[in-house]
């Protein structure tokens, strides 16, 4: 069974790719986490087209959690989701790294979209020390 997909939206391609690499090392299913970072020409920023493609690629039938880093990544993601509304794609307000780890581990365990969303959101309340 395919896990819930996760899309990492960042202003930085390196940040999104690096976080995806971390999640890969934690054992997520290949292709279940898609990075959408930076602009089409390699600059800092977000790309409407990259986000739309990432959501499409991540959705393997169990839904998608989209985690933005900050600012315009939220605005651009909202525009994509408004234009391509899908009931099984959720924009989640969660810490980027901690939320992604919690979501990915939960998804890898076979949880549904609601549980993966909740795991990402609850990461905000986990103390580091």
pLDDT at 31: 87
Which residue is listed with tokens 């997520």? Answer: 28
**pLDDT number for residue 38:** 95
125 is catalytic: no
pLDDT at position 106: 96
Query: Could you tell me the CATH superfamily of domain 5-125?
Result: Phosphotransferase system, mannose-type IIA component (3.40.50.510)
Nearest-angstrom CA–CA distance, 24 and 26: 5
The confidence score (pLDDT) of residue 29 equals: 87
Residue 75 CA to residue 55 CA, distance in Å, equals 15
Its pTM stands at: 0.95
- The reported pLDDT for the residue numbered 77 is 97
* pLDDT confidence of residue 102: 97
Mean pLDDT by 10 residues, the chain (129 residues): 94 96 91 94 95 96 96 95 95 97 96 98 92
Selected catalytic residue, list 11, 16, 46, 92: 11
Per domain, the residue ranges of the chain are: 5-125
The closest of 104, 126, 124, 125 to 115, measured between CA atoms, is: 104
């Amino acid at each position: 069974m395919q896990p819930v997909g996760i899309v990492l939206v960042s202003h930085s391609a390196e940040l999104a790719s690096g976080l995806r690499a971390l999640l890969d090392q934690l054992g997520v299913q290949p292709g279940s986490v898609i990075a959408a970072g930076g602009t089409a020409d390699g600059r800092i920023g977000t790309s409407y087209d990259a986000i739309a493609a990432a959501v499409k690629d991540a959705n393997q039938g169990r839904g998608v959690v989209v985690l933005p880093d900050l600012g315009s990544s939220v605005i651009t993601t909202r525009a994509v989701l408004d234009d391509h509304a899908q009931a099984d794609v959720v924009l989640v307000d969660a810490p980027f790294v901690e939320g992604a780890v919690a979501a990915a581990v939960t998804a890898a365990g076979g949880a549904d979209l609601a549980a993966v969303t909740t795991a990402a959101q609850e990461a905000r309340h986990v103390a580091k020390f």
